[in-house]
Amino acid sequence: MSVVLGIARACRAVRVYERLLARAKPVQGESRRERQLRRKAGGTAPVAPELKYPKPMDLVFPGNHIKLFNNLLERTGLKIDRDGKARTAYSLRHTYICMRLMEVPIFIRSPRTAAPRSR
């Protein structure tokens, strides 16, 4: 059963990645201030920039992923847990690993019973 769930999750991740590749990168256009100054000076509107699509070797999360994660936690009010400790990317990784270990039954053998005895 867990193998089927793992395959389903992998397929979902591939679909998400394919959607990201098909999406054009955001293009920095003219800011409001630049537009006001251009209009005041009587300039013409700039030509719309050409859309750029990601290449296979582009980063999925450009920039510092830890800063992105911390900003997300702060904006959602989840930076501090109920015990007053700050959440970090490492704590999320630790939680994920613990949750996965609880999903799958693990049989631990002691060193005594791990290897067959020789007679």
- 86, β-bridge pairs: 80
| Neighbouring residues of 87: CB distance < 8 A, sequence distance ≥ 6 | 73, 78, 79, 80, 81
Does this model's pTM top 0.95? My answer is no
Tokens of 13: 């991740």
Residues 25 and 52: beta-carbon distance below 8 Å: yes
Query: Is pLDDT at 6 greater than 80 in this prediction?
Result: no
By mean pLDDT, which of 4-8, 39-43, 83-87 is the weakest? 4-8
| Tens-digit pLDDT profile for residues 21-36 | 788 777 777 788 888 8
